[in-house]
A and B are shown apart, each in its own frame.
Chain A
């Protein structure tokens, strides 16, 4: 047998492990999922950043369509008809019109148990894939600042629930046209689909699952909480899919409203 090479993947030879120099012996395309995750999340963040700071094409006055990226619109720069909760933030280029809610939505997703897995793997390579050594010499997980802050996820869940109520309100308002009559167009369908997806994602949250019933040990004494926990648990198994679905519906909803608002396309009207 030949002389063993030094272990190269962060383990110490003195621990007596099998001395295998390869970082991984996986033969499948283990790098593809983290690469796709990286590309998907980076593309979405780039789009959302551009749109959040664009400060135009966020509202279709004729049909009351307001993009979720600008809801609630609380800047002095907001069009008066789009601002349902007052206009009080200064109109400066570096302050998105929905600055009151966007940070909470960002933090809700940043501390989400699914997204944590996704970006720890795809951005921080910790680990890039199962059985593939990570490049970091030290690892302390979520035991120290700032990652200790991941434990605040439930507070951002509470905020996201409130914001989902506001998004629902926007979607309902969009059925009333500027002239006061009832209207139904493709934009309404997109707004409602987005809100349904947002609720499904928000309710399927792991913190929600714990809050509604997961934290108790006597389900038999709390039948309603048990039923709620079962419902959220069923949704929770789809949390990853819902996380990606809502990124898609948010971007699509925003893009559609931008396109109609900018006059690139006209809304497909069904009623009114």
Chain B
């Protein structure tokens, strides 16, 4: 069953742009990315859009659909009514290159600022031994496909461009949490999370969790546990005292 949907797509570049209306055919079972592709084929051959796997696993086709960050390939047209106007814009937190394509290099910069996995210096690479229960908590974070929807929706940088320098964003704070929870990682990450990567800027309003297409509980399982670890380290004199008195290796 086909119908003509009303699409409003943002067209422009880093200097100017506007929302342009397009009537476009929709068929049963299609997703928003299919419609954007049909637009390219029929009415707007120069429409720029980034996409790759069409299966929700590459994180390329991130955009904002009716004001909400979504993967275009995972947003079914059946979730909209036939009379609804569907607005598609680029991610609003990052500089736009053209149309629906943004420059997400902010995220790569932030990724490079996180020190990589640091095993004990006396442990050879072939000798890593870990129990499954010790690593499975952070395996949830490895599901991340780096679509940057959480980075886009986080109001700390979305509404405050000036915070970009001091705030790593939920995706990379989650990376710090993953490494901090790693049984073999020996780097000091808690103080750095707070002092270098802006964990204190997060006010746990959970938008990152709401938009995650992999359904990672970013706030509850990564950011809040990391905040609590920072409290252990920086703001809790009892824990500090306990760690001095009852110091146990490997605990």
Contacts and interface: CB of A to CB of B under 8 A. Distances in A.
B190 to A, nearest CB: 10
B28 interface: no
A136 B155 CA distance: 11
Given A1-B17, A1-B18, A127-B155, A140 B201 contact: yes
Nearest to B94: A17
Q: Chain B interface: which size bin?
A: 35 or more
Interface string A142-158: 11000110011110000
A134 interface: yes
5 contacts: A117-B205, A130-B205, A133-B155, A141-B156, A151-B236
Contacts of B220: 206, 236-237
Nearest to A28: B66
Task: Provide the main secondary structure of the chain B interface.
Answer: mixed
A28 B155 CA distance: 19
A46 interface: no
B98 to A, nearest CB: 10
A205 to B, nearest CB: 10
Contact of A126 (B11, B163, B205, B235): B205
Interface of A: 1-4, 9-12, 15-20, 22, 24-28, 113, 116-117, 120-121, 126-127, 130-134, 136, 138-143, 147-148, 151-154, 206-207, 209-210, 214-222, 226, 236-237
Interface in B143-164: 153, 155-156, 158-161, 163
Contacts of B251: 216, 218, 221-222
Given A19-B17, A26-B68, A130-B68, A141 B203 contact: yes
Interface string B57-76: 00000001011110000000
A16 B161 contact: no
Contacts of B133: 219-220, 226
A18 to B, nearest CB: 4
Interface string B190-214: 0000000010111111110011000
Contacts of A141: 156, 198, 200-203
Given A1-B12, A17-B94, A154-B236, A130 B207 contact: yes
Contact of A206 (B155, B207, B228): B228
A130 B231 CA distance: 27
Contacts of A19: 12, 16-17
A139 B14 contact: no
Interface in B116-147: 131, 133-134, 137
Contacts of A116: 203-204
A15 B96 CA distance: 9
A18 B159 contact: no
**Minimum-distance CB pairs A-B, first 8:** A16-B95, A25-B67, A26-B67, A210-B228, A220-B131, A141-B201, A130-B207, A143-B200
Contacts of B203: 116-117, 120, 126, 141-142, 147
